[in-house]
Every structure is written in C-alpha cells, then in structure tokens.
Structure 1
Amino acid sequence: MRILVTGGAGFIASHIVDRLIAEQHEVCIVDNLSTGKQENINPAAIFYNLDIRSEHVLEVFEDFNPQIVIHHAAQISVAHSVSDPSLDASININGTINILDCCYKTGVRKIIYASSAAVYGYPEELPVEESAKLSPLSPYGLSKLTPEFYIQLYSNLHGLKYTILRYSNAYGERQDPRGEGGVISIFLDNLLTQKEIQIHGDGTQTRDFIYVKDIVNANIAALTKGENCIVNISTQTEISVKELFEMMCKILEIDASPKYMDERVGDIKYSSLSNRQARSILGWTSQFTLYQGLKETINYYQNICV
C-alpha cells in the first residue's frame, strides 16, 4: 500500500515507518523536523520537509496519492501547550484539519490518528475505558481530543474511514529526554550521565507504560482492522514511579537514590488504560512486559553512548 506518515522523523512514527518499509509498503514522510530528527528518517521513504499546516501538503498528497495516512505529527509538550495554547491548537487542531482536507481532496481511504490518554483527565475508575468521561486537564489534552471529533465528522461527511489510537505513556528507543521526554527517557538519561533523579510527590503515583514496538504493532493492525473505532493502546498495567526507578536501577546494576520533590499541581495520581477493545477489535495485545521493554531501551542507549 501507499502510506503517508506525518511526523515520520519523530520518536514513535519513525519506528512505524521502519516497519512499513520492512513490509514492502511505499511510504512518504511529512515532517518539519521541529522535534523529529534527520537520522530517524528511513532512506527508503520519500521525505518532505513540510509543516502539516502548509498549503503545499496538498501537492504532496496529489503527487504520492496515498491510500492510508498515519497521522503522528503534533505539538506534544504539555508545558508548551500551557504557555502558548494558540500555537498548540494551531499545530494539533488546524494541522489535523489540513491533513483531513488533503485526505478528502485526494481520495485517501483511511486515516490512523495518534491520540493520547491526556484526553481523559482525572480517571473516575481504573482501568479507563474508551467510553469514560473526556475531560482534558491541559490545552495539549484538548488539542489531541478535538481532532478526534473532526476525524469523525469527516468520516460522516465524506466517508473517510478512521482508527483512533489513544496511547498510554509511551517509551522506547529514539525518545528524546529533553523537551517533553517521558519519565523513562528522563530517568535513563540522568542515570547514564550520573545526574540527580527527581521524583515529584512520594513516588506512589502510577502510570501505564507502553513500549514503542507494541505501538508499532497496533498501527500495523489498524491498517486493515478497527474501522471507525477508537481504541486504547496500553498494557493495562500500573506501576508506581518509585518501582519504575528501582527496576531501571536493577537493570543498569547501579545503586542510586532519587530526590523527592513537591507534588506537581494537576498531576494525575493513578493511571491505567483498558486495552480490552484493542484485543477484541484489532486482535492486538502488548508483546513486551515493562521489564523487557526497558531492557531493550536501556541496551540501545548504552550502545549509542559508548
């Protein structure tokens, strides 16, 4: 198939591109390299250095004529969304509308959209089902949720098929610890460089971590399944931040102690997403335990640091 991937130079989407190329699909990447990296770009893919809000994106769609679009390009920093909500909305909402317009105008069959657990806000019960109340706590959460409604609207108006994937806390190779790096990439970077590790609160807060290779598998499944569905992509497993830190130290075979800081206002205490629908609709299950994913991730960063 001909598949266009937005944000294909970034952390998650570059892994998706690699898998698509390995499976002999024709792949086109649209990425402005604001956070994506040139070295992440698979040389077998066609690459356009373009912002998803650009009017020239339509020319790319017309030239490449994709059958499916996998949409990952986004502003992903919660902090930046709070400090500049207009820019956040411009990229995540207006950018997605531009991509949807291009899909409609060029006859794209389906869009797969990377959404986020941030759309839920404070969970009323765990694990969080897709039918749970949607109440984002940040402009970022809102700007990831709003495109979901636009995607469903374009489906109703124009027949564009979709699968919306709501990721829990992603981690893995190529995740940048700077900017809005996940807690795992930040911990790992600080542990490898012997910097202070800070944990906000008492460390009992929990998260549901999903390995990037599991996310890739979900996107591959969504190429042919999950028509007009919204599904969580998660391990449906909680681990506390304190336990996570201890597991990473064990794998690295080092003895380190974190510094506990004041709890951050607005942080969710406990988080876990149900993956029941992913299993039933996509036939997907996570293949990696957190320990396995951490070992692979840590090995990758140790090798590039040598």
Structure 2
Amino acid sequence: MKVLVTGGAGFIGSHVCDAFVRAGHEVIALDNLSSGKKENLDPRVRLEVIDIRAPEAAQLIRAERPQVMLHLAAQMDVRRSVEDPRFDAEANILGFLNLLEASRQAGVQKVVFSSTGGAIYGEQDVFPAPESHPTRPVSPYGVSKASGELYLGYYKAQYGLNYVALRYANVYGPRQNPHGEAGVVSIFCQRLLGGRECTIYGEGKQTRDFVYVEDVARANLLAVEKDSSGAINIGTGVETDINRLYSLLARSAGVDKPALHAPGKPGEQMRSCVDNALARRVLGWQPSVELPEGLRRTVSFFREHTGRQAS
C-alpha cells in the first residue's frame, strides 16, 4: 500500500513512517522541515519538502494517488496559537483543507487525522474523558483540531471519504521537540543531562496522560488496518503529575536534585486524561510501554544525541 505521511519528518510523524515501513508499505513523507529533520527518516522513506498550504502539496497527492493519507503536519504549539490564531488557522485548517480537496480528487480511501485528546476537551467533567465528552477547546490550537474533525465528517458524508481522528494524549519519546505541553519531557531531559536546573510551574500537581510515541505510531497503523472510523482516544487513561514526572526523569538521568518551582501559568489546564476503551475495542490497541520504561528510553536517546534538539 502507498501511504502519504504529512509531517513525516517530525517527532511523531517519523515514528509513524517507521511503523509503516516495517509493515512493508511504500511511504512518502511530506514535510516543510520547519521543525522536522531529514535524519529522523528511514532511508526507505521518500521525502518531499513541501508546505501543506502550497499548491504543490495538492499536486503531489493527485500525482501519487496514495491509498491512505496520515495527517500529522500541524502548527502544534498551543502558546503560539494563542499569540497568532490566524497563523494557526492557516496551517491547521486551510492547509488541511488543501490536502483534503486533493485527497478527494485523487481517490484516497482513508485519512488518519492526528487530533488532540487534551486541547479538544478543555476542562474535563470526568476523568478519564471518553470520546463522547463535550469538546470545549480553550485555545485556537484546540479549535483548529476540532475544526479538522468537523471537516472530515463533512467529507465523509458528502464524498464517502473514510477517516479516523486519533485524539492523542500527551505524546513523548525519542526525537521529541520541546514545543507543546508534552514537550516538558524533552525540556527536562535536555536540562537534566546538561547539568541545569529544571523549573516546575505551580505546585506541580497538574496532571497529564503521557503516552509513548511508538505506541502512538502503532495506533496509526491499526487505524489503517482495521475497519474503523470516527474519533478515537489514544492515551493510557492514567494521570501523572509533573512532580512525579520530574522524579522519574531525574532518576533515569542519574540526578539527585529537586526541581525549582515558579508561579503557575495563568489558564493552565489542571487535569487531562483520556479513556482508551474505544481504542481497545475497535482497534485492538492498548499502550504497551509504561511511563518509567518510556522515560528511560527517552533519556537514553537524548544522552546519545547530546547537543541535538530532536524534532
């Protein structure tokens, strides 16, 4: 099968490329390399350096006619989306529409969309949040991801374009960049290994659902292989507070020093966690890498790539 992975040279995208190459598929990565890196890619992956907003991106889809598009390219910095919501919408809404129109014209059979399980739900009513939880995004980034899901619903109803929207929890692991909420793992890794102090904002009791990147890549593969559609949460269903996260990372890095604490950031979501029961049922997916082991692997990666900021 020929698959197109947008954002394929990035953190999650490159792991998705790896999963599909291992499964024997032909993989094309589309990436403008604004944060992705060529060295993240397996040599068997063909890289096309194009911005998703460009006409050339649509032309590539129409020329290659992939059976599946896995859409991971995005403006994914929540803070930047707040500062510049127009730029966020240009990349995450207009850029995606550029690809969707071309996919419809090229006869793409399925789109796997990287959505968000944290930003899309906002302040949760229940923990962990199921897919039926109201979507109440409190950032332009969350709004753009919710919009992407709505457009996918339209394209399925109007044109029969099947899709799965994977609502990720906080993804971490090797090649991670320091942007976005889950970037706290890479930031702490870089600082701990560099002998610098780490700062936790607030009391450190805010929680997140941390899911390992290779588990996320496997979910993308299963979303293509299984006859599934609609929104599906991809997370562990376990809340971990930032104090515990720091403790686990410091232990893996061999550092015996407490973190500094600074005033909390206004408007920061205090708790976030997603229910993965639907993923277990329809995809046969469940996380296989527990947090201490995933963090150990991540620290090992950063130790081996000292001085390199992975993306």
Please, what TM-score do these two structures have when normalized by structure 1? 0.97
Letter in 2 for 1:110: K
Q: Which runs of 4+ in 1 moved over 6 A?
A: none
CA contact (8 A) 2:228 2:283 kept: no
Q: CA deviation at 1:83?
A: 1.1
Residue 305 of structure 1 aligns to a residue whose secondary structure is coil
- Equivalent position of 2:298 in the other structure: 297
CA contact (8 A) 1:225 1:282 kept: yes
Contiguous gaps of at least 5 residues in structure 1:
none
CA distance in 2, matches of 1:79, 1:239: 22
CA distance in 2, matches of 1:111, 1:210: 22
CA contact (8 A) 2:209 2:236 kept: yes
Letter in 2 for 1:71: H
Q: CA RMSD in A?
A: 1.3
Q: Does 1:160 align with 2:168?
A: no
Q: CA deviation at 1:43?
A: 2.0
- Equivalent position of 2:114 in the other structure: 114
Against the structure 1 CA distance between its residues 226 and 190, is the aligned structure 2 distance closer, same or farther, given a 3 Å change threshold?
A: farther
- Equivalent position of 1:16 in the other structure: 16
- Equivalent position of 2:150 in the other structure: 149
Q: Trace 1:65-144 onto structure 2 (pairs within 5 A).
A: 65-117=65-117, 118-144=119-145
Q: CA deviation at 1:248?
A: 1.1
CA distance in 1, matches of 2:82, 2:272: 21
Residue 187 of structure 2 aligns to a residue whose secondary structure is helix
CA distance in 1, matches of 2:85, 2:298: 32
Deviations 1:45-97 (A, max 9, x none): 22211111111122211222100000000001111111111010000001111
Residue 182 of structure 1 aligns to a residue whose secondary structure is helix
CA contact (8 A) 1:70 1:112 kept: yes
Residue 163 of structure 2 aligns to a residue whose secondary structure is strand
CA distance in 2, matches of 1:19, 1:281: 19
Residue 33 of structure 1 aligns to a residue whose secondary structure is coil
Q: Does 1:256 align with 2:257?
A: yes
CA distance in 2, matches of 1:47, 1:249: 36
Please, what TM-score do these two structures have when normalized by structure 2? 0.95
Letter in 2 for 1:239: T
Identical aligned pairs, as a percentage? 40
Count of residue correspondences: 306
Higher mean alpha-carbon deviation, 275-284 vs 171-180, is at: 171-180
Residue 5 of structure 1 aligns to a residue whose secondary structure is strand
Contiguous gaps of at least 5 residues in structure 2:
none
Deviations 1:208-255 (A, max 9, x none): 100001001101100122522211000111111001111111222221
CA distance in 1, matches of 2:62, 2:169: 34
CA contact (8 A) 1:28 1:64 kept: no
CA distance in 1, matches of 2:100, 2:178: 31
Q: Trace 1:145-224 onto structure 2 (pairs within 5 A).
A: 145-177=146-178, 182-224=183-225
Q: Does 1:274 align with 2:275?
A: yes
Q: CA deviation at 1:20?
A: 1.1
CA contact (8 A) 1:163 1:226 kept: no
Q: CA deviation at 1:180?
A: 6.7
CA distance in 1, matches of 2:181, 2:94: 21
Higher mean alpha-carbon deviation, 264-273 vs 104-113, is at: 264-273
Higher mean alpha-carbon deviation, 221-230 vs 288-297, is at: 221-230
Residue 230 of structure 1 aligns to a residue whose secondary structure is strand
CA distance in 2, matches of 1:241, 1:43: 37
CA contact (8 A) 1:137 1:266 kept: no
Q: CA deviation at 1:305?
A: 2.1
Q: Does 1:41 align with 2:41?
A: yes
CA distance in 2, matches of 1:71, 1:43: 20
Q: CA deviation at 1:181?
A: 6.2
CA distance in 1, matches of 2:37, 2:143: 26
CA contact (8 A) 2:78 2:180 kept: no
Deviations 1:182-214 (A, max 9, x none): 111111111111222111110111111000010
CA distance in 2, matches of 1:187, 1:103: 39
- Equivalent position of 2:247 in the other structure: 246
